[in-house]
Amino acid sequence: MSEPVGEPVDGLAGRPAGEPAGERMHALVERLHPICRSMTGDGVRRTLEIISESIPLEVHEVPTGTPVLDWTVPREWNIRDAYVKNAAGDRVVDFARTPLHVVGYSVPVAATMPLGELRDHLHTLPGEPDLIPYRTSYYTETWGFCLSENTLKELPEGEYEVRIDSTLADGHLTYAEHVVEGSGSDEGSGAGEVLIECHTCHPALASETLAGIAVAVELARSLTEPRHTYRFVFAPGTIGSITWLARNRDRVERVRHGLVLACAGDPGGLTYKRSRRGDAAVDRAAAHVVTARGGTVVDFTPFGYDERQFCSPGFDLPVGLLTRTPNGAFPEYHTSADDPEFVTAEALADTLAAVREIVRILEDNRTYVNLFPYGEPQLGRRGLYGAPGLDQMAVLWVLNLSDGRHDLLDIAERSRIPFAEVARAARALADAALIEEAEA
């Protein structure tokens, strides 16, 4: 990883400069938006195919019925068409317009019924009468349609033809991994695995689901020769991370740091939710970055995305959640209004920049020992006094706190100097043989 923090997000080392990353991420969000994703099924496979045009993926297919921790891989759901037709034969609700119109995991139905009976299967948001809600029924066999309250109000009484052409049958749960191998060996160097996870199970939710995927893809594209190994996991929420954990139980201990990405594209500010541990390196790194960017840091709660599973007490992995406006805290959340217009290229670029700064800290954080700890060393004769491009206070802080007990992130936090400046000072001091890396 050779690009310093603060560089523009394009023109990454080893990559041809192309269209700006923000626009590229937004284009990916737009392209993925119409696909009907769910916990399983061909929509997920199609999503992974499109991702694999940008980064190679290893796709895993786990059969229905496979025991995974306390759960069982469910049947696979696929859907070809669905509609509600009025007496005139017009599709008043049409799956072809948006996959949100069908309750996820709806069982097949083909019937004609009066509106009064149909109503039990119709879901709206009376308080947001223009929006279509997102609904699923994973573990209760039923069927339903989602529509706007305004559309519902306009439906006259009478008979309606309802049709859901879906299948719920033995099949597979599909998830994928992309791995960027790190140069650091596992032993001694402090290097390990960094887990970046996004959920892939929601149809047509642009910021909530697709923005995180786009940021992860762009991050994966730009990682060159990192010290840590970066494992990107694209999996359905809950059951997907549970499946991944079940199949990787013996390697979970390699995870040194982790981030779940979701709600990553709206114009609001950044929010980092700490891991269950609260003081993991990723928590400190993310707090440093997000706070400096005017964002918010909140404590762990066992509700949200797949950090719930990674942070269950048996695993207790150092995995936090990075979002912009958090789940449930914006009115577009889980509705048709979370569409590509709600997501901006600027917001995606800002999320990416924050993730890259966090990664930069995870890559560059070290603990040093001052080799001249008695008094200050004479910087002038080593060309480090008032040297251009060096923050003199960062130099003094690194010298003062490099006693083997403070890492560079500690120093950045205590001095309130950006980590990048502290790391640059440390490199200069190490080059001048004034400090050396502490033994682990």
Binding site for a second copy (CB under 8 A): 69-71, 139, 238, 241-242, 245-246, 249, 276, 299, 301-303, 308-309, 311-316, 370, 372-378, 380-381, 385, 393, 396-397, 399-403, 414-415
CA dihedral 152, 153, 158, 160 (to 10 degrees): -10
* Gap between the Cα atoms of 393 and 375, Å rounded: 16
Which CB, 97 or 249, lies closer to a second copy?
249
Which residue lies nearer to a second copy by CB, 70 or 157? 70
Closest C-alpha among 358, 415, 355, 364 to residue 391: 415
What residues form DSSP beta bridges with 66?
Answer: none
The token pair at 113 is: 């019924």
Q: Measured from the CB atom, is 200 or 336 closer to a second copy?
A: 200
Residue 225 Ramachandran class (φ > 0 left, ψ -120 to 50 alpha, else beta)? left
Long-range CB contact pairs, 183-188, < 8 A, 24+: 183/225, 183/226, 183/227, 184/227, 184/228, 186/254, 188/440
Place of tokens 């809950």: 238
By CB neighbour count within 10 A (0-12 exposed, 13-18 middle, 19+ buried), where does 92 fall?
Answer: middle
For residue 9, the minimal CB distance to a second copy (Å) is 34
Q: How far is CA 199 from CA 144, 202, 223, 259, 305, in A?
A: 23, 8, 21, 12, 8
Q: How far is the CB of 105 from a second copy (least distance, A)?
A: 13
Side chain identity, residue 104: G
- Minimum CB separation from a second copy for residue 375, in Å? 4
Q: Which of 54, 89, 220 is nearest to 160 (CA)?
A: 89
Least Å distance between CB 165 and a second copy? 27
Q: For a second copy, which is the closer residue by CB, 20 or 404?
A: 404
Whichever of 69 and 115 has its CB closer to a second copy, that residue is: 69
162 or 425: CB nearest a second copy: 425
Between CA 78 and CA 140 the distance in angstroms is 16
Question: In the bound complex, what is the minimum distance in angstroms from residue 55's beta carbon to a second copy?
Answer: 27
Q: Strands, DSSP E only, in 276-364?
A: 296-298, 319-323
To a second copy, the closest distance from the beta carbon of 360 in angstroms equals 24
Distance CA 80, CA 165 (A): 6
Q: How far is the CB of 397 from a second copy (least distance, A)?
A: 6
Query: Shortest Cβ distance from residue 395 to a second copy (Å)?
Result: 9
Q: Which is nearer to a second copy, 57 or 242 (CB)?
A: 242
Which of 9/242 has CB closer to a second copy?
242
Closest separation in Å from C-beta 12 to a second copy: 35
> Which CB sits closer to a second copy, 241 or 351?
241
Q: Give 346 or 403: the residue with its C-beta nearer to a second copy.
A: 403
Q: Which two three-digit tokens encode residue 322?
A: 């990075």
Beta bridge partners of 168: 77
32-326-226 Cα angle (round to 5): 65
Closest CB 429 distance from a second copy, rounded Å: 13
